[in-house]
Amino acid sequence: MSKTFYLTTPIYYVNDKPHIGHAYTTILADVLARFHRNAGQETFFLTGLDEHGQKVQQAAEDRGIEPLQHCDEMAPRFIDLWEKLHISYDDFIRTTENRHKIIVQMFLQKVYDAGDIYEDEYEGLYSVSEERFITEKEAESDEFRDIKKLKEKNYFFKMGKYQDALIDHIKSNPKFIQPEHRKNEILGFLRQPLNDLCVSRPKSRLNWGIELPFDKEYVTYVWFDALINYITSPGFGKDHESFDKWWPVSYHLIGKDILTTHAVYWPTMLMSADIELPQSIFAHGWWLMGESKMSKSIGNVINPMDLIDDYGVDPVRYYLMREMVLGQDSNFTMESFIQRYNSDLANDFGNLLSRISTLMKKNYDGRIPDPGELSEAELRIKTEGESLCSTVDGMIKNMRLNEAIENTMQYIRSVNKYMEENAPWKLVKEDKSAAGKILYTAGEALRLGAVLLSPVMPHRTSILLDAFNAPGADLSWGGLKPGATLKDHEPLFPRVK
Ligand code: MSP
């Protein structure tokens, strides 16, 4: 295990209204960060906002205000949502911050000095409505208006020069692009010659961006600017000690929609600037709504705020993590959300706590009973719990999150079964110490389950651990202290309709 763990989300377009897709990547990063912190690894989790470019400039113009004011007014929509979702980021970066502009310019100058940026005149079809160059094929569709031939001087990054080096790197580092099918997609893309990348926009057309250090008439192409956030935050060019500590990043978490920019543009940019490449770029699939992509125009976008208000934060986090196989698309339906909530959370998990704590309160003076000498059935629960902890750890490290959660829930179900089979509510009338042993074992198993699920549901599991008077993330058997007083707690997961 390397000493430090650094992971990032994409920086989201400040103009977008946050939806379940943005929430998903950010929760995923948060869950991973919390797992690694619990495992004692020093962790740095970065998220933020992408604030330059045409769309922001346009939106601000439409509102008759300055672009920065527009960004300042839009940013809290994300920040507030992350607070509501209990996102434990360590840094939140906005590309309009000075600390970032300085680094983008330093980076550009470095690449320019290395001879990897050249000036060229580009002639092509330009869509005035979209404010960008389009291909012949795009021009044939009816999506673009006001098309004209345009000749424009711009700056280009010699991306093509790094094609072979990139292919070699991908082939010799199997974890560089994950999952496997995404790696193959990029290798397929790299079978065609790789074009150079236009990294400038003339100010006559767009001025909401970071000025090129070597030509004041131009601003930086928004993707070139945005990707650099990943090194700005840990201190590139400013705090060497910190940068060396965190870089290369452990994971760039992204959606599959932005794979090329991350797996082709970004590594070639880093090669040119002589900076180590990321350890891994992990692309997850999309949340779909009944087979189609969530989109504003179809009007099927799920608003995470509504779900949180209706069901609480942790059930939303749980559903998103449990339901998606990392790397594949997944369908979001309210029916499956409600079903997961009731069966996994209310029936299996929440009920187990209320059963145990009710019996302890009624028969043991509201205290944790003594486990005594463990017999076979109890030892089995203990051994299963211990092996579950190492299974979950391995699965998390291999990004098999939904399986880690399912394994934990299976354990909880087996503890429920153990309770049914041994019926401590009956036994307590004849043999209080035997019943106490069962309750202790079930309670301790539930505590382990709660610690394992705490990165996914930090709030509700903390209520559970608090009720048992056993805070902390200790995964060794025996965290429940005999004699400790139980605390009153609200129902963990009341059933919903
Ligand atoms: N600003 C760029 C990223 C720059 S990173 C240097 C951008 N922003 S975005 O606001 O469009 O966010 C894209 C990300 O949102 C995706 O990569 C993905 O993480 C997430 N999702 C957006 N829609 C999604 C779904 N329907 N499902 C799952 N995640 C999705 O692109």
pLDDT in the model for residue 464 = 97
pLDDT in the model for residue 299 = 67
For 1-58, write each residue's pLDDT tens digit. 678 999 999 999 999 999 889 999 999 999 999 999 999 999 999 999 999 998 999 9
How are strands ordered across the β-sheet holding 42-50?
91-94, 42-50, 4-13, 251-255, 281-284, 177-178
- Per the structure block, which two tokens stand in for 56? 């922001």
- Closest C-alpha residue for ligand 1 atom 29: 21
Atom of ligand 1 nearest to the CA of 13: 10
How many CB atoms are located within 10 Å of the residue 17 CB?
12
Residue 220: pLDDT band by 50, 70, 90 thresholds?
Answer: very high
> Of the candidates 278, 427, 442, 269, which has an alpha carbon nearest to the alpha carbon of residue 353?
442
- Closest C-alpha residue for ligand 1 atom 8: 12
Question: Is the distance from CB of 52 to CB of 209 less than 8 angstroms?
Answer: yes
Is residue 172 assigned to a domain?
no
- The yes-or-no verdict on residue 297 having pLDDT over 70 is no
Per-residue pLDDT, averaged over 258-287, amounts to: 97
Q: What is the distance between the alpha carbons of residues 276 and 166, in angstroms, rounded to a whole number?
A: 12
- The yes-or-no verdict on residue 119 having pLDDT over 80 is yes
Q: What is the maximal distance between C-alpha atoms in the chain?
A: 92
CA of 75 to the centre of ligand 1 (A): 16
Phi and psi at residue 81, in whole multiples of 5°? -65, -40
Say if strands 147-157 and 42-50 run parallel, antiparallel, or are unpaired: unpaired
Question: Is the distance from CB of 104 to CB of 52 less than 8 angstroms?
Answer: no
CA of 344 to the centre of ligand 1 (A): 29
pLDDT in the model for residue 296 = 64
User: What range defines the domain where residue 355 resides?
Assistant: 334-467
- The yes-or-no verdict on residue 294 having pLDDT over 70 is no
For 300-355, write each residue's pLDDT tens digit. 677 777 889 999 999 999 999 999 999 999 998 888 999 999 999 999 999 999 99
CA of 121 to the centre of ligand 1 (A): 32
For 352-387, write each residue's pLDDT tens digit. 999 999 999 999 999 999 999 999 999 999 999 999
CA of 117 to the centre of ligand 1 (A): 28
- Closest C-alpha residue for ligand 1 atom 30: 21
CA of 258 to the centre of ligand 1 (A): 7
Per-residue pLDDT, averaged over 204-220, amounts to: 96
The residue written with tokens 């994300």 in the block is 78
- The yes-or-no verdict on residue 198 having pLDDT over 70 is yes
Residue 292 gets the label, from left (phi > 0), alpha (psi -120 to 50) or beta, of beta
**Amino acid identity, residue 120?**
D
CA of 472 to the centre of ligand 1 (A): 34
Question: Is the distance from CB of 6 to CB of 32 less than 8 angstroms?
Answer: no
Is residue 359 assigned to a domain?
yes
Ligand 1 binding pocket, CB closer than 6 Å: 10-13, 16, 21-22, 24-25, 50, 226-227, 254-255, 257-258, 286-287, 294
For 96-117, write each residue's pLDDT tens digit. 999 999 999 999 999 999 999 9
Least confidently predicted of 2-11, 144-153, 214-223, 444-453: 144-153
- The yes-or-no verdict on residue 231 having pLDDT over 80 is yes
> 214-220: long-range contacts (C-beta < 8 A, 24 or more apart)?
214/108, 214/109, 214/112, 214/117, 215/155, 218/154, 218/155, 219/52, 220/52, 220/104, 220/108
Q: What percent of the chain has pLDDT over 70?
A: 97
Residue 295: pLDDT band by 50, 70, 90 thresholds?
Answer: low
The total number of structural domains in the chain stands at 1
- Closest C-alpha residue for ligand 1 atom 17: 255
Is residue 187 assigned to a domain?
no
- The yes-or-no verdict on residue 142 having pLDDT over 80 is no
For 443-489, write each residue's pLDDT tens digit. 999 999 999 999 999 999 999 999 999 999 999 999 999 999 999 99
- Across the chain, what does the average pLDDT equal? 94
The residue written with tokens 């292919």 in the block is 167
Is residue 342 assigned to a domain?
yes
- Closest C-alpha residue for ligand 1 atom 15: 22
Residue 138: pLDDT band by 50, 70, 90 thresholds?
Answer: confident
For 59-82, write each residue's pLDDT tens digit. 999 999 999 999 999 999 999 999
For the chain, the helix, strand and coil percentages under 3-state DSSP, each to the nearest 5:
50, 15, 30
Which three-class secondary structure state does DSSP give residue 485? strand
How many CB atoms are located within 10 Å of the residue 67 CB?
22
CA of 254 to the centre of ligand 1 (A): 7
- Per the structure block, which two tokens stand in for 402? 């939904």
CA of 34 to the centre of ligand 1 (A): 22
**Amino acid identity, residue 7?**
L
- The yes-or-no verdict on residue 139 having pLDDT over 90 is no
- Closest C-alpha residue for ligand 1 atom 19: 255
Is residue 134 assigned to a domain?
no
Is residue 128 assigned to a domain?
no
- Mutational test site, ligand 1, from 7, 11, 12, max ligand atoms within 8 Å of CB: 12
Is residue 76 assigned to a domain?
no
- Mutational test site, ligand 1, from 19, 224, 257, max ligand atoms within 8 Å of CB: 257
Q: What is the distance between the alpha carbons of residues 195 and 157, in angstroms, rounded to a whole number?
A: 9
- Per the structure block, which two tokens stand in for 71? 């960004």
Whether this prediction's pTM lies above 0.85 is answered by: yes
- The yes-or-no verdict on residue 131 having pLDDT over 70 is no
Atom of ligand 1 nearest to the CA of 288: 26
Residue 168: pLDDT band by 50, 70, 90 thresholds?
Answer: very high
Give the domain CATH number at 400. 1.10.730.10
pLDDT in the model for residue 291 = 65
- The yes-or-no verdict on residue 281 having pLDDT over 80 is yes
Phi and psi at residue 47, in whole multiples of 5°? -140, 180
Is residue 408 assigned to a domain?
yes
Per-residue pLDDT, averaged over 393-415, amounts to: 97
